[in-house]
Structure 1
């Protein structure tokens, strides 16, 4: 084998390797987009459930109108959010408002016993679980993608073809703690 053939083999091997890096980055980006779509679908299901929940609780509005207003405002913010960060903030805000709403049911036995309210609460719980699973999957793909575009030699391909970092979809820890706390209810 001549020296020229060896050089051609090395160049061809490097080309194939660069193509493999590019294809992996494209695959990860497509996976992130699909995972984000799953989160978005679950968030929309959650936002679509809110009007029925609010209608069920409206009979108790005289006592806790502010709580319902916060739920409605959080839903609207979620519907209009654009970026991953804005959607995460809206989801956090809605989780806090819903936490207060469900804690409210403890203070009103009639509401707590309402079958429609219980059904909606269960459905919302299953949606929350689906969001949590979709969030974990999305964040895992984002982690892999971000690590790949920052690793040598992949970073050269990523920079050349404009692959940029993606944000995680995270629950704000202070918001998570606030949701877990039982609000004070004065009757």
Structure 2
């Protein structure tokens, strides 16, 4: 940055005037503010990317769980013919999850899907022949592996959201977040009805 001073900016003693010093100070503050904004923007962007990458891992596992449900429902339906309402609710919850357009709606609908899946597994416990079915046991094993991966990826996602939301909500980085329209992201928390993920019994 070049500062051009004319004779009016310099006192008779050869020193810059008060106005010149004020201008220089203002210019320095503007430069420092610009550097801070760039630093804050980059920091917020990196944190947001971590959240998005973590969410993509969660989405993969939730999609695998949703893809497993039709086979699971058909298998249960072959034995539990009087549980049609529960089976329908499972598939309705799955449809709502698959049609979710935002992370918030996906989290809510996946929680509902998990709730009904838990009920479906509870129903299965009442049918010994179903529990002995080879296809059902295979689906249970696959579901167990998926649920473990959901729990792990969910923890990584929530950790990333916590760090990102701190930057968005706490001073001084919240000033840059507001300026560049960074918004807080939702945590992936199970609703009150489902404090724990669906439990699969293999015995």
Q: TM exceeds 0.5?
A: yes
Partner residue of 1:52? 71
Distance 1:146 1:20 in 2: 17
Over residues 5-60 of structure 1, what are the superposed CA-to-partner deviations in whole Å (9 max), with x where a residue is unaligned? 88766654543333221111000111111111111111111111111111211212
Deviates more, 1:102-111 or 1:10-19: 10-19
Q: Please say if 1:69 is aligned against 2:88.
A: yes
TM-score by length of structure 2 reads 0.78
Q: Is the radius of gyration larger for structure 1 or structure 2? A: 2
Post-superposition offset of 1:175: 3.0
Partner residue of 2:42? 23
| Higher-RCO chain (CA-CA 8 Å, sequence separation at least 6) | 1
Post-superposition offset of 1:83: 2.3
Q: Where in structure 2 are the equivalents of 1:55-134 lying within 5 Å?
A: 55-134=74-153
Q: What secondary structure does 1:92 align onto? A: helix
Is the Cα contact below 8 Å between 2:161 and 2:186 reproduced in 1? yes
By percentage of residues, which structure has more helix?
1
Q: Where in structure 2 are the equivalents of 1:133-144 lying within 5 Å?
A: 133-144=152-163
Is the Cα contact below 8 Å between 2:54 and 2:153 reproduced in 1? yes
Gapped regions of structure 1 (runs ≥ 5): 181-187
